[in-house]
Structure 1
């Protein structure tokens, strides 16, 4: 025997509750439907507007679709290859000086206003004082000791 364990997808004997489509026949039909090779046209719960827009622009391509059953519902997920513009590199000639301190968290050399210290210790101490007063006013279940 042993400790009871919940049935999972792998131990329940229902294995094979997911299927993966990797052919190029996967496409979106409008904003609310997906066309898969064997299953045909399926309505989606959420609109796939962003994916449809990227597919129309040519900046994305659907590589595969995985359909799986989870909690008595069927879900489809896409693997999408997207093209992103290259990130702009930081300027190498830009230099900034920052002084880190205790009373103020950071002071910049260019004259911009300093970043104040967030004072986490003071706010935590204030919260601890308030909570300890609340606990001290409470009466416990034991009438003799009050605990």
Structure 2
């Protein structure tokens, strides 16, 4: 049996097959780009004080990645000697993980950057990273309590 001109696959037009394939490819690309969030996730500090880093491990003018009790990812920064910030590692653009860069904080998903205090220095993110109240006690960076 021969198919009518312009059709294939049991009478479906070539145009419909190509349109469906294009839509499927677009969905795959969008799914790969989207981490499934909006970046509006707020992390909760621990109810009791918890050490998240040793101050001597945090470079002056830099940052280290750490984890809160319970598993939330954070960044501990030291813009100047003794000045410490504990920030959520969740990008406020689409919820990707932010990592320490060279004197800044970087979101590898869409290129947002933040200074060591969590303020946006380059979009597409528009809001700063969430900051948690922190203190230095006996050489330890402590959050919560």
What TM-score range do you get, normalising by the shorter chain?
A: under 0.3
Look at both structures and tell me which one has the larger radius of gyration over its CA atoms: 1
TM-score by length of 1: 0.25
TM-score by length of 2: 0.25
